[in-house]
Amino acid sequence: MAIVGQGYVGLPLAMAAVNAGWTVIGIDNFEAKVSQINSGKSPVEDISDVQLQAALKSGAYKATAEFSEVADASVITICVPTPLDDKREPNLSLLQSAATEIAPFVSNETLVVSESTSYPGTLRDIIIPTVESLKPKDSVKVYYASAPERVNPGDPIWNQKNTPRLVGAIDKESKSRAVAFYQSICDAVVSVSTPEVAEAAKLLENTFRLVNIAMVNELNQICTAAGINIHEVIDAASTKPYGFMPFRPGVGVGGHCIPVDPLYLAWWARQLGSRALFVESAGSINYLMPKYVAQRAIGLVDPSIKNPKILILGVAYKPGVGDVRETPVSELRDHLLLSGADVAWHDPLVPTWKGSNSVDLNWQCDVAILATRQPGMNLERLIAKGVNILDCTNSLNGQSGVTAL
Ligand SMILES: NC(=O)c1ccc[n+]([C@@H]2O[C@H](COP(=O)([O-])OP(=O)(O)OC[C@H]3O[C@@H](n4cnc5c(N)ncnc54)[C@H](O)[C@@H]3O)[C@@H](O)[C@H]2O)c1
């Protein structure tokens, strides 16, 4: 098989496929990443160097920037980014270029699957016409399916193998090939009637998280104003054995999925002459959270200090990863700087960010903001030193000098 895009989705998929007995070609147009992977150094936290090196050594896996190598594959999956453009609308240029690059080399009877997250209709309206118009003449039949990736980087429990996989295909033969393929690498495959259902389900999953996080972020502001601890409220509500799922407040939402995918949904709604007002409102609430957190942190500093020194702990968008894409900590830092604060940051998994380096925990500050609790952060030392900490992670409850967000 060939996997186009060797990032957070494509590389773990490659390793899962190798484990399932496939011979895998990992294609990436970023040559430095290809060299890094082939030298046995994994670019993603979920794949260890040891695992990658074993796959390379066995001959079952290699990375390449050569799209012509897909000619040997009976299955091609596309796992490239689907970001936003300047107008915060879907930017499918990478997906389009991946389809364009593989098309001339697709062999007869190949299954092409899109795993990238996008709006319903992407497989049928963009990928299929591109491949069909550019495929070799003797490549009489190509099969197509959509199987949106659900990987959760840094998750010690759920991975590509044990997370059920949605598959939606364009016809019966494509469906049976796609289901058989995913059955070979996943414990459970859920077949849905069309690619559009699979694409829409992926948007629903991530939008569900966005709106619930927004709701609890909003409720946190209300509870804080009323002097009620939101976490005690959430814990109390969580004792209901059905119909409730806990979400926790935080600095906002980050990463490649939760802040981005709902905007695909909102754009799709507008194309249909409709509006996703609820989703747009949730996006706005989360977008304003970094400002709220900045104000709360500055409120903990003695007002006589004009330019407080503020240390941000954790800048990645979630624990266990060094991924800073769309991290809300970026806006948090901007708001603090705008307020005149002297800001430094510490993250054991992010050595450099925004042109500056992670400082150590000895950096003298008036207040620290625990934005993302990374493994390996020695916060006990800060607490012992009596540093005031605004805890946005609900992980330092009740300790001296700690204020919950
Ligand atoms: N990261 C996640 O947690 C996650 C989870 C589920 C779904 N997704 C979705 O999966 C897709 C990929 O996300 P990711 O996080 O793996 O991205 P990533 O940035 O980690 O990796 C994508 C890789 O694709 C390469 N690439 C870009 N354009 C290319 C092209 N035209 N041809 C070949 N290679 C190309 C990049 O160099 C990069 O190495 C996105 O649609 C994303 O929304 C991501």
pLDDT in tens, 313-351: 999 999 988 999 999 999 999 999 999 999 999 999 999
Angle between helices 277-298 and 195-225 (to 10 degrees): 40
For the chain, give the longest Cα–Cα distance. Answer: 77
8 Å CB contact between 389 and 382: yes
Mean pLDDT, the chain, as a whole number? 95
Mean of the pLDDT values across residues 174-201? 97
- Distance, CA 320 to ligand 1 centroid (Å)? 19
Q: Is the pLDDT of residue 152 over 90?
A: no
> In this structure, which residue's CA is closest to atom 40 in ligand 1?
81
- Asked if 257 is an active-site residue, the reply is yes
Residue 251, sorted as left (phi over 0), alpha (psi -120 to 50) or beta, turns out to be alpha
Mean pLDDT of 252-261: 92
Smallest CA-to-CA distance from 151 within 161, 143, 139 is with: 161
On whether the CB atoms of residues 103 and 135 are closer than 8 A, the answer is yes
Q: Judging by beta carbons within 10 Å of its beta carbon (0-12, 13-18, 19+), is residue 134 exposed, middle or buried? A: middle
Q: Which helix (H) or strand (E) holds 102?
A: helix 93-102
Beta pairing, strands 110-114 & 142-146: parallel
- Grade residue 153 by pLDDT with cuts at 50, 70 and 90: confident
Measured from the CA of 118, which atom of ligand 1 is nearest?
41
Question: Is the minimum distance from the CB of 55 to ligand 1 under 6 angstroms?
Answer: no
- pLDDT value for 149: 96
Pocket test for ligand 1, best of 3, 4, 6, 9 (most atoms within 8 A of CB): 9
- Is the beta carbon of 202 within 6 A of some atom in ligand 1? no
- Whether residue 55 contacts residue 92, with contact meaning beta carbons closer than 8 Å, is answered with no
Half-sphere exposure of 57 (CA within 13 A, CB side): 8
User: Which of 167, 160, 168, 148 is CA-nearest to residue 187?
Assistant: 160
What is the Å distance from ligand 1's center to 98 Cα? 11
CA-152 nearest atom, ligand 1? 3
The CA angle 344-347-350, to the nearest 5 degrees, is 110
- pLDDT of 213 reads 97
Which residue has the least CA distance to atom 13 on ligand 1? 81
Share of the chain above pLDDT 70, in %: 100
- Using pLDDT thresholds of 50, 70 and 90, give the confidence band for residue 378: confident
Residue 155 has what pLDDT?
86
pLDDT in tens, 30-63: 999 999 999 999 999 889 999 999 999 999 999 9
Q: Ligand 1 in contact with 12 (CB < 6 A)?
A: no
Per-residue pLDDT band at 376 (split at 50, 70, 90): confident
Ligand 1 pocket residue status of 98, Cβ below 6 Å:
yes
Report the pLDDT value the prediction gives residue 140, as an integer from 0 to 100. Answer: 81
For residues 69-91, give the mean pLDDT. 96
Give the pLDDT score at 256.
84
- DSSP E strand boundaries for 65-126: 75-78, 110-114
